[in-house]
Structure 1
Amino acid sequence: MGHGGDVIAELTTDHQEVEELFGKIEALPAGDKQRKVYADQAVMELVRHSVAEEAYLYPATREFLSDGNRVADKEIEDHAEAERTMKDLESVDADDKEFDRLIGELMTEIRSHVRDEEDNLFPRLRAAMSEDQLMKLGDKVRQAKKTAPTRPHPSAPDTPPANKLLAPGVGMVDRIRDALTGRGKD
């Protein structure tokens, strides 16, 4: 979380980190309790990443791309689907058969979303925005991730201004819950 560089470098590094966690999950046998630990870490990263994109990347998409509203709406819907899957995953243990189904579904959703962003959205934004604009957006995304929630909240607003106003408070509550339960510490 917080790697530096322009917004595209920042978000691409996030994608790589989540993919590494997915690889660790896939390398372990079904039922291994460490799979849940890695899944929790992936969810924490994905939620922070999604909140930052919804607060800053997608408004820039709307502003700088001629079809930006359509693109941003599709990306937000992808996030909503993944967030519902993450919420369902939260309540199952690694030895529950439902865990395997849900983590597989989440990996498929996220990998598809990442391919779409990296192959389509990011190159278009790089062409439409100046390097200075991309750097400033990277700074905003890094700041947003510091205070973002760490747990899925499917019913929370996903567009500005409500998401920018509520995310820090929800994030604080999530981090307190995480500290009390030890979630994400392994």
Structure 2
Amino acid sequence: MRQARDSGISTNGLMAFAGGVLVALVASRLMPPLVAQAAGTLRAQAGRDPFDALAHDHRVILSLLDQMEDSPDNATMRRTQLLLRLKRRLAAHALAEEDVVYPLLHDRAHEEEDTRRLYAEHADMKMHLFALEQMPKDDPRWRARVGELRALIAGHVHQEEDVDFPRLRERLDDRATVRLSGSVQREKALVL
């Protein structure tokens, strides 16, 4: 306490500073999901389909995989960067699907078997990502592993966009679609 007074810093000043840091930390974690949920809700109210946003994610993810497959074996930094971008994008997308879309698909569209398969495919994707992360980026087998992941994701995307999303879309009214849009954006924002 004496040192704090000697340096011109009071205990109250330290407490206020610590409180400010705590408030900033809490706000930085709480605000992005809340803002994203509001933005997603507004987009749906303006007529934008939340399934289109998920399909856009699919295109970005597949594009990252294409770039990974096309990268030369000696581009280890580029491969690492692309893998990290893929993991982040896939994590946010998967969180939204697993916590919002798949439960609705299970409960509203009564697609229990499809839902279980989609969750299992996400688990397979995570195992591929782990293997890619552990593998040296200049390993000649790296490209083949990326190709396996891309094939898994492409099949998964086809199932969602051509079968599951349309089934769910037809079972949701406007209010549920707006709620879905906000919830999807909130979940994606949780991955900072």
Instruction: Using the aligned pairs only, state the percent identity.
Output: 26
Give aligned pairs, total.
147
Residue number in structure 2 paired with 1:120: 163
Within the alignment, does 1:52 sit opposite 2:107 as a pair?
no
- What code does the residue aligned with 1:14 have? D
Q: Please give the TM-score of this superposition, normalised by the length of structure 1.
A: 0.72
Instruction: Report which stretch shifted further, 26-35 or 9-18.
Output: 26-35
The residue that corresponds to 1:139 in the other structure is: 182
Q: Deviations over 1:16-66 (max 9, x none)?
A: 111221222233223322123112211211111111111010110111113
Q: What secondary structure is seen at the aligned counterpart in 2 of 1:94?
A: coil
- 1:65 maps to 2:109: yes
Q: Superposition pairs for residues 175-186 of structure 1, below 5 Å?
A: none
Contact 2:106 2:112 in 1 (8 A): yes
Of 121, 126, 129, 1:78 maps to: 121
Note the C-alpha offset of 1:100: 1.8
Q: Is the 8 A contact 1:6 1:137 kept in 2?
A: no
| 1:85-164 matches, cutoff 5 A | 85-148=128-191
Name the CA distance, whole Å, in 1 between partners of 2:97 and 2:51: 11
Post-superposition CA distance 1:2-26 (Å, at most 9, x none): 7854331221111111122122223
Q: Which has the higher helix share?
A: 2
The answer (yes or no) to whether the contact 2:100–2:180 under 8 Å persists in 1 is yes
Structure 1: any 5+ residue segments left out of the alignment? 149-174, 176-186
**Within 2, Cα distance between the matches of 1:143 and 1:76?**
20
SS at match of 1:82: helix
1:22–1:42 CA contact under 8 A, matched in 2 = yes
- For residue 88 of structure 2, what is the amino acid of its counterpart? M
Q: CA deviation at 1:128?
A: 1.3
**AA partner of residue 87 (structure 2):** V
RMSD between aligned residues:
1.8
Amino acid of the structure 1 residue aligned with 2:101: L
Compute the displacement of 1:119 (Å). Answer: 0.8
Correspondences of 1:33-52 after superposition (within 5 Å): 33=76, 34-52=78-96
Q: For the pair shown, which has the larger CA radius of gyration, 1 or 2? A: 2
8 Å CA contact retained: 1:11, 1:49: yes
